[in-house]
Amino acid sequence: MVSRAGGLGCELLKDLALIGFKDIHVIDMDTIELSNLNRQFLFRRKDLGKSKAEVAATFINSRIPGCNVTPHFSKIQDFDESFYRGFHLVLCGLDSIVARRWINGMLISLLSYDDGELDQSTIVPMIDGGTEGFKGNARVILPGMTSCIECTLDLFPPQVTFPLCTIANTPRLPEHCIEYVKVIQWTKENPWDVTIDGDDPAHINWIYEKSQERAAQFGISSVTYRLVQGVVKNIIPAVASTNAIIAAACATEAFKLATSCCMPLDNYMVFNDLDGIYTYTYEAERKEDCLACSQVPKNVYIKKLDMKLQDLIDYLCEDSAFQMKNPGLTVYTDGKNRTLYMSTVASIEEKTRFNLKKSLLELGLKDGSQVMVADSTTPNTVVLSLKFTPPSDVVMI
Amino acid sequence: MSNGLLVSSPVEAIIRLDLMFAAISSTASYSNDFTYRAGWDQDDISLRHVWDSPAKGSPHLQVEFLPGIHACLNAILILPSSLQLHMKGPLKSSSPLAFRILSGSTWRGQNVEPPTLTFLSKKLWELDIPFLVCRSYGFVGYLRIQFIEHTVIETHPDNQISDLRLDVPFSELKNHIDAINLSSLEYKDHAHVPYLIILYKYLQQWRQQNEGRLPKTYKEKESLRTLIRTDVFLTTLNYKHILIQSKSFWIMAKAMRDFVDNEGKGFLPLRGSIPDMTAETSRYIALQQVYHNQASKDAEAVFRRAQQLLHQLNQPSDIITETDIKLFCKHATDLHVVRGTSVADEYDFKTPNMQNIAAMLENPESTMIYYVMLRGVDRFYSEYNTYPGEFDDQVEPDIVKLKACVSKLLSEWGCGPLAKDDYVHEVCRCGAAELHSVAAFIGGCAAQEIIKFITRQYKPLNNTLIYDAITSNTATFVF
């Protein structure tokens, strides 16, 4: 199964089909846009607006005889465990960390244990690729056996790049406006008939002013001179050849796992061809208390007894080990489940909002209390065990 | 395995080239980074031609380049089935973008043989045309780039050290900072002062107390840090494209050398940029302007010197423009020159540095072993006219034969025998099969290196890459 038919996904589908895989499914909820065409080579101009998954599948099926690609014009989250259990391998050409975490959680939820022993026949290996400019990585995850996405969550840098379609059509952030002026407006108007010099204050100032105009059109605020400079000097374009290289490395791993002709990558390769061609391959280690692949409740040490519920939620969103988006918290006390806070359902949010200002003690939580957390980054519930008396060598919140 | 799989590798390299040229032709300028513009006509790309062509399973692929590219690009593609040279335009090195590619791929029974390689290597070396060789053999990938000299101005280093000159301030910087009196500022205004200014002020103070020296040792630097930390405002302050021919590169380098010896007083031209820092916009821009102006002055001086040199050399003055010089000066600390070696010399076993191979082979896990294996495979083919393990019933006897070939090679190179036979077994096991994904990996790398050569940005591979797809490792060797 290939999740997403984008820059990496097109390469993956072509590689898998040419290497001899006959039955491939592809999931993508996006439609084809003009800016995709330079590197997503299974698409043509006539395909604009159509489903990426469907066009990619049709292309491969007609070009490579004997290969049968089944498209799913849907979100990865639209399918349940029974769907994912049906695959031997899952390859990811995803562009977001949240989606990776979701697939990772889904594959971990397929595992079953007999007397605490992992039933290896329930493992669906995940092969994950990612690229950014001239850098990329490929990794093999055997859920329950080797390190998973959550084990190494701290490896992901904060995301700073923006797809061209967002810049052109749906700007949300001040960065999007700046990128638009830089990529499109400068090329059109070219005020000094030169290329942009990120160190020339006059250039930056021009972009700054135009970005402000564009931001005003879209009602976006806080375009600053500093931000303009940061964006102008730090663009990371999608590089077709990096996608090709990373997808090829992933396809090789799929071939190895499917045929057992040799050992799979163990388990993480980073790639960088800014200066020559450099790779580094190492074994990323499992985290013993990983939120996803170990079933042990995660200890959270509380320093301040008057800590508010809002502080706990902020911690879950900001801490590098959690990086949650919109956590919903419930607690099991006195034989019943009680919702402390949930932002995703408006009516519940309204009823639980006042809890945010209460301290954990006021909410009846004590040392050893277990809090269940649901979040869009994982299909599973994360169990936190609150510790008010920490060992001396841990950082407390 | 299907036929399509076997022919995939030349296609792979071509695909990458096409994508890349599409990127070049669609981007008005590529001096900054590779960005693409959504505007070019997708259907013109020859990649589509390759993919959409009905030549399923046929290794005979005719490749058409975009009309705009055609004028400036001459491509040689060796299609493995026929070993014919498909040339577009005559072999010559005068065109500014002249770049020829050899996609030399192992194809069952149709390898690009060492004699062909050596012939092309010599020919292209004489013409000063970069030359690329790709191979995909079982789980091994190989990429070799031959070039005489390659110069890069825009190397895009990952971590660039700022060029600030706080130790040797130019007069405008000194005047700018001296005009700012920190102690007269309001408490809140301190948070708006760029930290460079604060650092400079305290450095001056430190030097006054230390006979004008700069802090050198850890202890001295620590004492400067302590000095800054004692500042009363500490709690509020945030302390915390152009393709340039090689010839003009060297003229600019000489002009810069002259600048360093004269106006520069021993220093390179100022880069003219400062790192981002918390500061009020107007203060930051003012400081930025000071650096930018000085950099412009330095670049002007270098430009004048370059023009003098051109005059002395009887060259037209427009081969080096002011924009060229500005770019050159901006990247003065990161210029890159690399000189290559020829494949022909590498294959002439008397010349290459074979101690290097021997030393590498002392580590039995070294990726160098795969280089030796590929050379052993060439030797095997020249003796038996088949590839080791190519026929199922010959795998076992071929192991013995290949081992003998490798041993002969190693003794010619003055290396000891192989520590273990595992790699010989592995090479015979694959039976010259070409895995599409290994070819795709090498094709992607090749395309990327070609981009670097053509744009003269980023540092290219020098000069051999071996990809071990079993462990997913790569290694770079210089032959």
Whether A44 sits inside 8 A of B42 (CB atoms) is yes
Give B50's contacts in chain A (Cβ within 8 Å).
none
- pLDDT higher than 70, residue B18: no
Query: Of the ranges A220-224, B187-191, B340-344, which one carries the lowest mean pLDDT score?
Result: B187-191
Alpha-carbon distance of B213 to B270, in angstroms, equals 22
Residues shown for chain B: 479
- pLDDT higher than 90, residue B329: yes
Confidence of residue B135 (pLDDT cuts 50, 70, 90): confident
Average pLDDT over residues B300-316: 91
Whether B472 sits inside 8 A of A138 (CB atoms) is yes
Judge whether B2 is closer than 8 Å to chain A, CB to CB.
yes
Which of the following is catalytic: A10, A165, A261, A290? A165
Per residue in A133-186, pLDDT (tens digit) is 899 999 999 999 999 999 998 876 655 556 677 677 777 777 888 888 888 888
Point out which residues pair with A87 in neighbouring strands.
none
Whether B437 sits inside 8 A of A251 (CB atoms) is yes
By CA distance, what is A36's nearest residue in B? Answer: B38
Whether B36 sits inside 8 A of A237 (CB atoms) is yes
Query: Of the ranges A9-18, A132-141, A171-180, B175-184, which one carries the lowest mean pLDDT score?
Result: A171-180
**Chain B stretch 125-154, residues whose beta carbon is closer than 8 A to a beta carbon of chain A:** 139, 143
> Nearest Cβ partner of A281 from B4, B460, B472?
B472
Cβ atoms within 10 A of the Cβ of B1, count?
A: 12
- pLDDT higher than 80, residue B15: no
- pLDDT higher than 60, residue B4: no
- Which among A275, A281, A282 is the top mutation candidate for probing chain B, defined by the most B β-carbons within 10 Å of its own β-carbon? A275
Among the listed residues A182, A230, A273, A187, the one whose alpha carbon sits nearest the alpha carbon of residue B156:
A273
pLDDT on residue B43: 33
Query: Of the ranges A135-144, A358-367, B54-63, B398-407, which one carries the lowest mean pLDDT score?
Result: B54-63
- pLDDT higher than 90, residue A281: yes
CB burial of residue B417 (10 Å; 0-12, 13-18, 19+): exposed
Q: What are phi and psi of A326, to 5 degrees?
A: -150, 65
Annotated active-site residue A165? The verdict is yes
- Whether the link from the prior residue into A169 is cis, omega within 30° of 0, is no
In total, the C-beta contacts within 8 angstroms joining chain A to chain B are 192
Alpha-carbon distance of B72 to A54, in angstroms, equals 38
Half-sphere exposure of B175 (CA within 13 A, CB side): 8
Q: Tell me if the pTM is above 0.90.
A: no
Give B37's contacts in chain A (Cβ within 8 Å).
183-184, 187
- Which among A15, A233, A252, A257 is the top mutation candidate for probing chain B, defined by the most B β-carbons within 10 Å of its own β-carbon? A252
User: Which structure tokens are listed for B250?
Assistant: 């060297």
pLDDT on residue A266: 94
By CA distance, what is B57's nearest residue in A? Answer: A64
Query: Of the ranges A212-226, B96-110, B268-282, B289-303, which one carries the lowest mean pLDDT score?
Result: B96-110
> Nearest Cβ partner of B461 from A18, A134, A276?
A276
Judge whether B51 is closer than 8 Å to chain A, CB to CB.
yes
Per residue in B382-424, pLDDT (tens digit) is 899 888 998 889 999 999 999 999 999 998 888 888 888 899 9
Alpha-carbon distance of A7 to A183, in angstroms, equals 20
Distances, alpha carbon A18 to alpha carbons A13, A38, B46, B78, B445, in Å = 8, 21, 20, 22, 19
The CA-based dihedral angle spanning residues A260, A95, A383, A347, taken in that order and rounded to the nearest 10 degrees: -140
Judge whether B162 is closer than 8 Å to chain A, CB to CB.
no
